[in-house]
C-alpha cells in the first residue's frame, strides 16, 4: 500500500510488537494489597486473539448485541455527523468498524480511519484487510496506549472528527480513570466534533457472570494469559498452573470483577523490573473490572463533561447502549 493510504505509527518502544512502557503500573499493582494488575496487559498478540474468541462465545453477548445496534443505526450515525474522520480507541480486529465504514461510504463521504490499539499485530493485519476491502479508505494507525496515541493526533483534513470507543471498554476504567479519560477526549475534540460510545447495561447477575465464566474456559485462558504476557515482557516466572480464574458480579458497584486466585504459595520474580513478589495460597489478585451502566446516568455524566447526547440507541432486550454525543 502507498504511504498515502497506510501509515502506522509505533509509539513507545517500537522494537516490541506491543506498545510498552516502563512497567510502573505493574510494580504499583503488585506491591498494593490486595494485589491487582492493569487490564491493558491482557492484550499481547495471544491475548488479542483470545479476546476475539471471547467475542464469539455464546455467553458473551456484548459484541453481538452492539453489532446488532450498529447494523441498524450506523446509517443514522453517519447522517448525524456528516463527513468525519473516524478515530477508534481499542480497534482490535476492527470488525464492528466495518458497519460504520459501510455507512459512511454509502453516504458518499471520504473514508479516513485512525485505529488505535496497544497490539501492533492485530492493528496492522486488520488495517491491511480493510484497505483491500475499501479501495477509497485511508488508514493512519497508532500503536500505543490510548493516552499516548491520543496525544499524537494531528489535525484532521476532514470537516469533523468522531472518536469512538465501542464494546464497553470504558467499563474497564475505574471512575477516576474515566474522569481523566474524558478530560483528554474533550480537550482533543473541536466544538461540533462527535464521540460515539458503546456501553454495557445493567442486567441480572446470572447473565453477567455466565458471560465472564464461559463454559469453554476461553475467558479463563484470557485472564491467565496476562501472566504469560508479563513473563515474556518483563522476564518473569509466573507459574500459570498455580492460578485459577474467577469472575463475580459485584452488585453494589455494578461491576464484574475478574480475579486470578493463587492456589499455592509462589514467589514471583520479574527480572527486568527488578521486582520480587510473594503470593500466599488462597490470595486473590484483581485483573479487571467491567462496569455496567445505565443510559440516563451515563448521559448525565457525559453532559457534566460537555458532551451532549444527540441520540442514544439500544437493542430490543436493552442489554447494550450506543450513545452519540457532540461537544
Ligand atoms: C474489552 N472489554 C470491554 C471486555 C469486557 O467485557 O470488559 C474484556 C473482557 N474481559 C473478559 N471478557 C471480556
Ligand 1 atom at minimum distance from 172 CA: 7
Ligand 1 atom at minimum distance from 288 CA: 10
Residue 121, classed as helix, strand or coil, is: helix
Least confident piece of the model among 56-60, 121-125, 131-135, 204-208: 121-125
Least confident piece of the model among 3-17, 88-102, 152-166: 3-17
Between CA 58 and CA 312 the distance in angstroms is 26
Between CA 22 and CA 115 the distance in angstroms is 23
pLDDT at residue 171 greater than cutoff 90: yes
Please say whether the beta carbons of 161 and 85 come within 8 A: yes
Q: Is the CB of 172 under 6 A from ligand 1?
A: yes
Note the pLDDT of residue 172. Answer: 97
pLDDT digits (tens, 9 = 90+) for 182-192: 999 999 999 99
3-state helix, strand, coil in the chain (%, to 5): 40, 30, 30
Cα 218 to middle of ligand 1, angstroms: 12
pLDDT at residue 15 greater than cutoff 70: no
* Predicted structure pTM score: 0.94
Q: Which residue from 47, 161, 148 is spatially nearest to 109, judged by alpha carbons?
A: 161
Q: Which residue from 139, 138, 142, 95 is spatially nearest to 118, judged by alpha carbons?
A: 142
Residue 42, classed as helix, strand or coil, is: helix
Long-range contacts of 17-22 (CB under 8 A, 24+ apart): 17/44, 17/45, 17/119, 17/120, 17/121, 18/43, 18/44, 18/45, 18/118, 18/119, 18/120, 18/121, 18/143, 18/233, 19/118, 19/119, 19/120, 19/143, 19/144, 19/145, 19/148, 20/233, 21/145
Note the pLDDT of residue 14. Answer: 41
pLDDT digits (tens, 9 = 90+) for 255-314: 999 999 999 999 999 999 999 999 999 999 999 999 999 999 999 999 999 999 999 999
Cα 138 to middle of ligand 1, angstroms: 29
Cα 24 to middle of ligand 1, angstroms: 23
Cα 41 to middle of ligand 1, angstroms: 12
pLDDT digits (tens, 9 = 90+) for 99-117: 999 999 999 999 999 999 9
Between CA 205 and CA 202 the distance in angstroms is 9
pLDDT digits (tens, 9 = 90+) for 43-86: 888 998 999 999 999 999 999 999 999 999 999 999 999 999 99
**Which helix (H) or strand (E) element contains residue 157?**
none
Q: Is the CB of 54 under 6 A from ligand 1?
A: yes
Instruction: Check if the interface score ipTM surpasses 0.90.
Output: yes
Note the pLDDT of residue 21. Answer: 58
Note the pLDDT of residue 92. Answer: 87
Note the pLDDT of residue 259. Answer: 98
Rg of the chain, C-alpha, whole Å: 20
- Sheet containing 243-250: which strands, arranged edge to edge? 243-250, 255-262, 284-291
Cα 77 to middle of ligand 1, angstroms: 24
> Do β-strands 308-314 and 320-326 pair in parallel, antiparallel, or remain unpaired?
antiparallel
Q: Is the CB of 102 under 6 A from ligand 1?
A: no
Which residue lies with its CA nearest to atom 3 of ligand 1? 169
**Which helix (H) or strand (E) element contains residue 322?**
strand 320-326
Residue 34: burial class (beta carbons within 10 Å; 0-12, 13-18, 19+): exposed
Between CA 310 and CA 207 the distance in angstroms is 30
Q: Which residues contact 19 (CB under 8 A, 6 or more apart)?
A: 10, 11, 12, 13, 118, 119, 120, 143, 144, 145, 148
Note the pLDDT of residue 121. Answer: 87
The interaxial angle of helices 62-81 and 97-106, nearest 10 deg, is 30
pLDDT digits (tens, 9 = 90+) for 18-44: 445 578 889 999 999 999 999 989 988
Amino acid at each position: 500500500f502507498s504511504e498515502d493510504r497506510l501509515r502506522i505509527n509505533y509509539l513507545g518502544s517500537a522494537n516490541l510488537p506491543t506498545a510498552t512502557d516502563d512497567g510502573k503500573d505493574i510494580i504499583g499493582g503488585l506491591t498494593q494489597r490486595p494485589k491487582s494488575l492493569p487490564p491493558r496487559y491482557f492484550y499481547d498478540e495471544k491475548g488479542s486473539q483470545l479476546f476475539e474468541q471471547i467475542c464469539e462465545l455464546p455467553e458473551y453477548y456484548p459484541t453481538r448485541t452492539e453489532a446488532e445496534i450498529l447494523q441498524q443505526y450506523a446509517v443514522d450515525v453517519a447522517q448525524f455527523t456528516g463527513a468525519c474522520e473516524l478515530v477508534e480507541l481499542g480497534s482490535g480486529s476492527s470488525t464492528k468498524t466495518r458497519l460504520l465504514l459501510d455507512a459512511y461510504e454509502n453516504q458518499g463521504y471520504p473514508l479516513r480511519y485512525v485505529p488505535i490499539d496497544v497490539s501492533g499485530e492485530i492493528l496492522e493485519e486488520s488495517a491491511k484487510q480493510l484497505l483491500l476491502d475499501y479501495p477509497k479508505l485511508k488508514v493512519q494507525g497508532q500503536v500505543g496506549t490510548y493516552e499516548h496515541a491520543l496525544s499524537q493526533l494531528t489535525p484532521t483534513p476532514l470537516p469533523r472528527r468522531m472518536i469512538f470507543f465501542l464494546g464497553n471498554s470504558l467499563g474497564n476504567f475505574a471512575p477516576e480513570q474515566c474522569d481523566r479519560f474524558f478530560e483528554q477526549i474533550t480537550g482533543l475534540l473541536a466544538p461540533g466534533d462527535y464521540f460515539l460510545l458503546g456501553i454495557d447495561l445493567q442486567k441480572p447477575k446470572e447473565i453477567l457472570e455466565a458471560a465472564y465464566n464461559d463454559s469453554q474456559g476461553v475467558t479463563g485462558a484470557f485472564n491467565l494469559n496476562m501472566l504469560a504476557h508479563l513473563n515474556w515482557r518483563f522476564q518473569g516466572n509466573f507459574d500459570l498452573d498455580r492460578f485459577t480464574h474467577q469472575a463475580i458480579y459485584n452488585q453494589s458497584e455494578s461491576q464484574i470483577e475478574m480475579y486470578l486466585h493463587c492456589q499455592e504459595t509462589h514467589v514471583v520474580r520479574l527480572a527486568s523490573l527488578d521486582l520480587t513478589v510473594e503470593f500466599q495460597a488462597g490470595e486473590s489478585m484483581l485483573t479487571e473490572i467491567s462496569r455496567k451502566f445505565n443510559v440516563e446516568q451515563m448521559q448525565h455524566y457525559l453532559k457534566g463533561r460537555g458532551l451532549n447526547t444527540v441520540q442514544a440507541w439500544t437493542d430490543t432486550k436493552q442489554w447494550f447502549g450506543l450513545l452519540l454525543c457532540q461537544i
